[in-house]
Amino acid sequence: MPLNKNKVLVVGMDGLRFDRLVALAPPVLSSLMASGAYGTSRLPYGEAAAPRTESPGEVVPKSPEPPSAGRVIRSRTDSGPGWSSIATGTWPDKHGVVDNSFTSPQFTKFPDFLSRAKNARPDLTTAAFLSWAALGEHNAFGPAIDHRMVLDGYALTWTAADRQIADAAGRHLADTGPDLAFVYLGDTDEVAHALGPHCPEYAAALHAQDAYLGRLLDAVRARPGESWTVLVTTDHGHVDEGGHGGTSPEERTVFVIANRLGEDLGGRPLDEPRLVDVGPTALALLGVPLDPAWELDGEPLFNSW
Ligand SMILES: [Zn+2]
């Protein structure tokens, strides 16, 4: 009997605080954690003292997990740097996005992991679904991706944009089963900016995104002959009153949840999974060799699965 074909779905939920995720226990994410592997780490960057300005980041004096000795990464703990790090598998000093202005991105030298997959193996099919338009406009997830849907959450409202993204992604996953897909959902961040991450509205946004995730999982589970790995992550946290950009543990704590659908990993811990590990993990699962010339900062996570 032939082996099932490995496929990977990465779902990003913006501004999702892991402690709130654990406390609110949405059913789908809780189930992925219980039968998967997961852990947290802290972003090795952040701007001290001015979390909501537009200015580029200050130095984080001492990172708990510097990518290399003596390396200093100047960046705010904002969405642009976070998703660009997830996309490229490199930190902001390489990909060049240090705040949400995307002033000098280096996505030609450091393309997203879906584009890497496509470039390395043109037979692989890729898809990205984004409700934050900046990620498409600035090519954090670039035009080499086979199927790219970009909506503007600010224009549509985030609840509407996320719903349309989830609907379209669910249909695409069900109908074509791309080898590698990325789905971005943004309402958790929008609500936390307005009201903080401790309100009923934040819980409602998380539960809505959790339900969307459930439908994406249903779509891929229904496809025969495929072995899906699902990774869920976020780009930064929030301070209690809402907002990010700074250096607090609440802003810098991020998580990765990994689940191989149909296998029980028992909720084991991942050892400080970093945002830059997400792309390399996806590529390795697809059998794409990681070229040292790519200068990736991340590495595959499954040694600790
Ligand atoms: Zn964000």
Structure confidence by residue, pLDDT tens digits, 101-117: 999 999 999 999 999 99
Percent of the chain with pLDDT over 70: 92
Looking only at Cα atoms, what is the longest distance across the chain? 59
What is residue 55's predicted lDDT score, i.e. its pLDDT? 30
CA of 15 to the centre of ligand 1 (A): 5
Which residues sit opposite 42 in a β-bridge?
Answer: 253
CA of 193 to the centre of ligand 1 (A): 10
Which residues sit opposite 10 in a β-bridge?
Answer: 182, 231
pTM for the whole structure: 0.94
Name the pLDDT band for 57 (thresholds 50, 70, 90).
very low
CA of 87 to the centre of ligand 1 (A): 13
CA of 214 to the centre of ligand 1 (A): 22
CA of 59 to the centre of ligand 1 (A): 20
Type of residue numbered 151? L
Q: Which residue has the tokens 């609110």?
A: 24
Name the pLDDT band for 48 (thresholds 50, 70, 90).
confident
Euclidean distance between CA atoms 234 and 13, whole angstroms: 5
CA of 234 to the centre of ligand 1 (A): 8
Across the range 59-81, mean pLDDT stands at: 69
CA of 225 to the centre of ligand 1 (A): 35
Write the CB contacts of 229 (distance below 8 Å, at least 6 apart in sequence): 6, 7, 8, 9, 258, 259, 260, 261, 282, 285
Percent of the chain with pLDDT over 90: 89
Euclidean distance between CA atoms 34 and 13, whole angstroms: 19
Euclidean distance between CA atoms 39 and 18, whole angstroms: 9
CA of 75 to the centre of ligand 1 (A): 13
